[in-house]
Structure 1
């Protein structure tokens, strides 16, 4: 029996082309990861603030190179897409931004990000999120992007609201962190919606 509704984005839309490098405001670029970025990622994951919100730890640069290989492979599998946020002039890694849990047929994905400790407070995450969101809507054709974070992660909530991800509610006891189960704020942005800064928190 045929489906009545066509896929929002056809399978192969990403895999049939190379992962692009995307410009972002503030002299930033979103570029594919390379093995040479392993020292920067390893350094980032030694940071206690980043560790608080991640279940994964990095024991060595060799281990991180394996992560990067997986991030690169994920593009061709069209399940996740990871970019390094880098300084456009020096190519120094200042963070990561990603589309995770992509379901192209449904036109949906989850956006995620982190920044290097030395780059916080400079607007890196909001600029990267805005650039990736616009590309996902305008170039790929996704319809809905979600963004979730622990209700205790106020910095991440600020990024969501600054970039037009409207607060939709709270997912109770939704994610296990090292210190126990956390409620998660759910934000989302729909294709065609303008980024409205200063939306209310859940």
Structure 2
């Protein structure tokens, strides 16, 4: 399959109580997109498990530029999870190609404190995974999280990503030691 067929194209996904909207320069969150990203980076849970690198306005602007470019190139589908009623930021879910020609993609997510505990990360992960399979022919979707991040492990399992093993010393956030990660995956043909 050609990389043209394996292209993530900007779209909006409606979950009812939440809307997944592309992270890019056009995204306009209440109170401002840049301040929302800076605030998300300051959340202790996000900072511990998934440091955003958006701790100040220039870094947040750079993040939006990278998302915009990745969408334009079709290599990453990064979505802001927003509240359907008021448009405020709830979190993020992103799908990116690890091996585009082979159809291998990786998914990740984070939620702000007010959005946690209601199944939103699971529903957003399933919606974006299904979108990647149906619109860009992803054949295998992987999800990796740090060992010890039990909340992320539960999301992976509820979203149908089977546990496949532990990757030893597989990932390092800047300035930290390497972490072991759990690898979960689902195939395009798995039951949804």
Name the TM-score, length of structure 2 as normaliser: 0.88
Q: Report deviation, 1:179.
A: 4.9
Q: Return the alpha-carbon distance in structure 2 between the equivalents of residues 103 and 175 of structure 1.
A: 18
The structure 1 residue matched to 2:41, chosen from 24, 45, 49, is: 45
Structure 2, unmatched stretches of 5+, are none
Q: Report deviation, 1:23.
A: 1.6
RMSD of aligned residue pairs (Cα, Å): 1.9
Structure 1, unmatched stretches of 5+, are 1-6, 196-202
Asked if the contact 1:38–1:64 (Cα under 8 Å) also holds between the matched residues in 2, the reply is yes
Q: Deviations along 1:26-77, whole A, 9 cap, x unmatched?
A: 5111111244421111111001111112354333123202211111110122
The structure 2 residue matched to 1:64, chosen from 60, 63, 66, is: 60
Asked if the contact 1:14–1:76 (Cα under 8 Å) also holds between the matched residues in 2, the reply is no
Q: Report deviation, 1:167.
A: 0.5
Look up the match of 2:190: 193
Q: Return the alpha-carbon distance in structure 2 between the equivalents of residues 67 and 194 of structure 1.
A: 34
Asked if the contact 2:96–2:106 (Cα under 8 Å) also holds between the matched residues in 1, the reply is yes
The structure 2 residue matched to 1:175, chosen from 171, 174, 185, is: 171
The structure 2 residue matched to 1:158, chosen from 154, 157, 164, is: 154
The structure 1 residue matched to 2:128, chosen from 121, 132, 142, is: 132
Q: Deviations along 1:82-141, whole A, 9 cap, x unmatched?
A: 111111221111000001234332111000001112211121110100111111112222
Name the TM-score, length of structure 1 as normaliser: 0.84
Q: Return the alpha-carbon distance in structure 1 between the equivalents of residues 55 and 130 of structure 2.
A: 35
Query: How many corresponding residue pairs?
Result: 185
Look up the match of 2:13: 22
Asked if the contact 1:78–1:102 (Cα under 8 Å) also holds between the matched residues in 2, the reply is no
Q: Deviations along 1:148-195, whole A, 9 cap, x unmatched?
A: 001111110000000000001111111124552211100000012124
Q: Return the alpha-carbon distance in structure 1 between the equivalents of residues 76 and 53 of structure 2.
A: 20
Q: Report deviation, 1:79.
A: 2.5
